[in-house]
Amino acid sequence: AQSVTQPDIHITVSEGASLELRCNYSYGATPYLFWYVQSPGQGLQLLLKYFSGDTLVQGIKGFEAEFKRSQSSFNLRKPSVHWSDAAEYFCAVGPDNYGQNFVFGPGTRLSVLP
């Protein structure tokens, strides 16, 4: 069965510092991979996605992620964090056995210090 782990429940970084959020997955074939961000009280917004091709993917808000098949990872990075990046971040993989759905990780909450 597909699964996603996000080892860090909560991360705190200073504004301007670099950021890396970890995502590891278990999937039987080449997965579709996504990172979503959820601001407090809001729904999820897509940051970026990977299906094939270049393993370094650029997304919105200055985020990027790198797919590493050998490590079953899809880590999210940003070179310089802004206070507005404080949110919860979800990694997702799929499609699942239903064919249309994606499996989400438990999320990583990011706090940003001024």
Partner 1 sequence: DVKVTQSSRYLVKRTGEKVFLECVQDMDHENMFWYRQDPGLGLRLIYFSYDVKMKEKGDIPEGYSVSREKKERFSLILESASTNQTSMYLCASRPSGGYNEQFFGPGTRLTVL
Query: Rule CB under 8 A: is residue 42 a binding residue for partner 1?
Result: yes
Instruction: List all residues 6 or more positions away from 4 whose beta carbon is below 8 Å from its beta carbon.
Output: 23, 24, 25, 26, 91, 92, 93, 103, 104, 105
Query: Rule CB under 8 A: is residue 21 a binding residue for partner 1?
Result: no
Q: In angstroms, what is the minimal distance from the CB of 80 to partner 1?
A: 26
d(CA 9, CA 52): 28
Query: Rule CB under 8 A: is residue 107 a binding residue for partner 1?
Result: yes
Report the interface residues with partner 1, using CB under 8 A.
Answer: 4, 9, 32, 34, 36, 41-46, 49, 51, 90, 95, 98, 100-102, 104-107
